[in-house]
Amino acid sequence: MKSFIHQLPKAELHLHIEGTLEPELLLTLAERNRIELPYRSVEEVQAAYRFTNLQSFLDIYYQGAGVLQKEADFYALTWAYLKRVARQNVKHVEIFFDPQTHTDRGIAFETALTGIFSALQTGRQELGISFRLILCFLRHLSAEAAMSTLEQALPHRDKIIGVGLDSSEVGHPPEKFVHVFDRARAEGFLTVAHAGEEGPPEYVWEALDLLKVERIDHGVRSLEDPKLVERLKAQKVPLTVCPLSNVKLRVFDKMADHNLKQLLGQGLCVTVNSDDPAYFGGYLEENYRAVWEALDLSRDELAQLASNSFTASFLPDGKKEHWVQEIRKLC
Ligand code: ADE
Ligand code: ZN
């Protein structure tokens, strides 16, 4: 089954590029850019990666992102991620970046964007990995700050396909960003949002009804509300589930408790993703393996997850169909 998982062509739809900063690169960039960190070795960094909830992770994640200063740093980060997932048969990636994490430190929007985008272009040419780029607003900051970030993105509509919403969920409901998302859609961006990770099913309803999202990022708490499950099913709204993240951030105590198999069994378009792999102990293939082992998934269920990852993507229909057929040939 491990080799079946490896062979499956896969798409990654929920990946924060800042969350791919491995301890080695973190320390190298800190030294090069003369940034003080509270760690001196990879072991010390890893020892700090014990989280009790989303916020305890975000505090360390934002501190880590502080080492990203130059365009070349963003390029190196993205290129390292792409090389790694090319070896896992990842064929398409839709990645998030958090401009405010950088602009609030005085790094230009274009510095982050250009570094990330150039590496994605190299990845397409040299590794054959197609891509889409999604900007995320930090929901713990104001709606006005999100609007000004959206305005900075307007000259780059050719590079950024959509906008999303991430960071501290509880206390920052989707409703707070309704005007920003209205404007984003009017400007031609697609929309997604993190909802139902730590927050209640009501936040998933708001993301659907108010932000009119194409996908829900996480959404695992949707299962608490049968009417919401019906809605997600009727509208075929994909959920980008991140199993290792959910266990590391204690959304579930252990992988055997994860509800991914139930979500699939309800007929929802569930996908498997890695969220912040450098912090959560695994990239895409490790996430597939973890759910297979803990939840005893069948070959059909694994193939369904891989097929869903393409059908839920922002690829054109012809490309989606191509990858779905390739997966079917393996079954
Ligand atoms: N930013 C990076 N990873 C995140 C997650 N899992 N939830 C919310 N915001 C994030
Ligand atoms: Zn996320």
**What does the pLDDT read at residue 51?**
96
Pocket test for ligand 1, best of 13, 136, 167, 240 (most atoms within 8 A of CB): 167
Nearest ligand 1 atom to the CA of 169 is: 8
Per-residue pLDDT in tens (0 to 9) along the chain, 331 residues: 999 999 999 999 999 999 999 999 999 999 999 999 999 999 999 999 999 999 999 999 999 999 999 999 999 999 999 999 999 999 999 999 999 999 999 999 999 999 999 999 999 999 999 999 999 999 999 999 999 999 999 999 999 999 999 999 999 999 999 999 999 999 999 999 999 999 999 999 999 999 999 999 999 999 999 999 999 999 999 999 999 999 999 999 999 999 999 999 999 999 999 999 999 999 999 999 999 999 999 999 999 999 999 999 999 999 999 999 999 999 9
**Would the CB of 315 count as within 6 Å of ligand 1?**
no
Tell me how many domains the chain contains: 1
Q: What is the CA(7)–ligand 2 centre distance, in A?
A: 25
CATH number at residue 261: 3.20.20.140
**Would the CB of 14 count as within 6 Å of ligand 1?**
no
**What does the pLDDT read at residue 191?**
98
Q: Which domain holds residue 224?
A: 2-330
Residue nearest atom 9 of ligand 1, based on CA coordinates:
167
**Would the CB of 217 count as within 6 Å of ligand 1?**
no
Residues carrying an active site annotation: 197
Residue nearest atom 8 of ligand 1, based on CA coordinates:
167
Q: For residue 293, what are the CA distances in angstroms to 247, 254, 256, 261, 297?
A: 14, 12, 9, 12, 7
- Cβ(196)–Cβ(221) under 8 Å? yes
**Would the CB of 19 count as within 6 Å of ligand 1?**
yes
